Each structure stands twice: as C-alpha cells, then as structure tokens.
Amino acid sequence: MDMPQATSNGEAEQKPSALLRTSHSALSDFLSCPEKFRQSRILKRKETPAWWSAGGTAVHSVTEEFDRWYLTAPSPEAVEGFSWEGSFKGFFDRQVEETQEKTGVATSEWRAAGASNARRVTEDEAFWRANGPQYAKNWALWRAQNPQWSIWGTPSREPAIELEFNLEDFGGAGLRAYVDRVMVNEAGEVAVIDLKAGSSAPDLLDQLLIYAGCMEIEYGVRPTLGAFFNCRKGDKVYLERLDVEHVTDTMERVSTFITQADAGEYLARPGEQCAFRCGYAAHCSSAQRLTSFWRKKAGLE
C-alpha cells in the first residue's frame, strides 16, 4: 500500500482522487489549473481573500433564501416584499467574519476586482454592500418575469435549490457538488443553472456539463439545457444545449486529469487570471512570469 507523503507543512498528503470528493470547488480548481489545485489542496497554502468571493457567496445565499420563500407565494409582488438589503447585509457580514477567522488576513489586504477595467471601479467592500442586494434581486425579477420556468423537484419532492450531490464515482473520483438551481420549463425541458455575480463571464461549459452528469448519475434525468445567469445584468440568461457526447467527454477528461494528478503531474495554465484573479500567483513561477505582462497591458504598470 502506498503511504501518504508529507506536505511542506508536515501534514499527510492525500491523493487528488480522494481530495476531489470534498467539493465541486476542488474539481473546478483542478480543471482550471492543476497547479492552483496543488497549491491549495496539496500544499494547503492560504489564498488571499477576495471581496468578490464574499460578495458572490452572499448573493447566492440571498437568492436561495428568496427562492425557498417564493415557493410558498410566487407572485411579482413577492419580489418587492422581500428584504433585499437586510438579507444581503446579514449574509455578507457573516461571510466576512468567517473568512477573517479562517485566514487571519485583515480586510484591508483583501483582493478587489475592477482595477483592470476601463471604468477603474474598484469592487471592494463598499461596492458589494451597495450593489450586492440588487444583484440578488435581479434573479428574483427574472423569476417573476419568466413563470414558464419552475424549480425542478427530486423524486422525494425536494426542491432543486442548491441541490447537493454526493457521488461515489464521477470519472474515477467521488464528487460532492451543489447545483444552484435545476429548473424545468413548460415543455418539460430540464436545465441546470449556475448563478454568477462576478464581473467575468464564464468561458467554459465544464461546470454545467459536470452538473448534468451528476443529474444523470443520481436521478437518471439528463438535462438538455444549461445556463449561466448573470446577476449583474439580470435579463441575461445564456441557455446552451448540453449534448450527451459533451457530458461524456467531460467525465472522461476528469478521469484523465485525476490519473495525471495521482501521478504527481500538475501543469500550470497561466494566463490573464494569474494577475487579477488567482490568490496563489505569488507561489507560482509560471504566474509570476506573466503577471507583469498582463498588468502592463491593463495600464497598471
């Protein structure tokens, strides 16, 4: 039997196939950049907190609270009757406090998005407190304006709001995942939906394809649609057809990545995100080589 190896902080190192069981975020890290996965999950380095993470988590929490309440009284009037500011403040304050306790990093040192955009709007704490409630409300407004879409229910009649999956085998590894929403339209088409509160639009369908695979494995239901909901714009729902072949290909890629990682192969995928979105760039030689380039391109150096 292979014995676990010690990491730089003295802790026993687990194989990635075991670590991937913990959450979809671990798998997302791995798919986006294996080196980021190694820094966070294997070496257990602390990531510098980011305001967009705290704000986005709070937005998700508010929309979940609203949707569970909305199930009992769905109407356009219910949107205006919900306490958007109070709900967001409560979740945001809690997220900030928990993050500080976990990382020990003062909020003055947290990363803020927006430094590279044309408007030079820094998306810091004040930005999220001012805009977070509206981002969450935009989802509710879309729900009220599109009654043809309803929350899908599991066989046990659990509403698919932050639907949890604990799978023993997804491409060769266990996987724990939370799908923001699974919805169904009047034609009976099932869609997996992920809410996005950040300024960067997703450029890959991997997340939606993984969710579709989870639905098929757990419930024998194959979603034919997937969507990223833009909480900032509110009226933008990018519906995509999820082909069976694409879901299968994604699971096969997961299996390939797991095999590579278990063999100790962690290949960095450097790019613009190294300079502006990765909390582990300071520990990555590939990122350090590119960070200056991207910052100069954005006019910050």
**pLDDT tens, position by position, 244-253:** 777 777 777 7
Q: What is the structure's pLDDT at 6?
A: 37
CA distances from residue 9 to 5, 6, 42, 44, 134 in whole angstroms, order as listed? 11, 8, 10, 8, 42
Cα atoms in the 13 Å half-sphere on the side-chain side of 104: 2
Query: Is residue 72 packed enough to be buried (19+ CB in 10 Å), middle (13-18) or exposed (0-12)?
Result: exposed
Q: Is the pLDDT of residue 120 over 90?
A: no
- pTM value? 0.77
More confident residue, 230 or 290: 230
Q: Is the pLDDT of residue 220 over 90?
A: yes
Mode of pairing for the β-strands spanning 190-196 and 225-230: parallel
Task: Return the residue matching tokens 């993470």.
Answer: 53
* CATH code reported for the domain at 151-257: 3.90.320.10
CA neighbor of 70 nearest in space, from 136, 165, 163: 136
Q: What is the structure's pLDDT at 151?
A: 97
Within 10 angstroms of residue 163's Cβ, the number of other Cβ atoms is: 22
Type and span of the H or E element at 124: none
pLDDT band at 27 (very low <50, low <70, confident <90, very high): low
Q: Which of 8-17, 132-141, 177-186 is the least confident region?
A: 8-17
CA distances from residue 82 to 60, 79, 127, 169, 286 in whole angstroms, order as listed? 15, 6, 21, 40, 47
Collapsing DSSP to helix, strand or coil, 169 comes out as: strand
- Return the biggest CA–CA distance within the chain: 62
What are 187's two structure tokens? 């034609």
Rg (the chain; Cα; Å): 20
Q: Is the pLDDT of residue 22 over 50?
A: no
Q: What is the structure's pLDDT at 68?
A: 95
Q: Where are the domains of the chain?
A: 51-147, 151-257, 270-301
Cα angle vertex 223, ends 217, 226, to 5°? 120
Within 10 angstroms of residue 136's Cβ, the number of other Cβ atoms is: 27
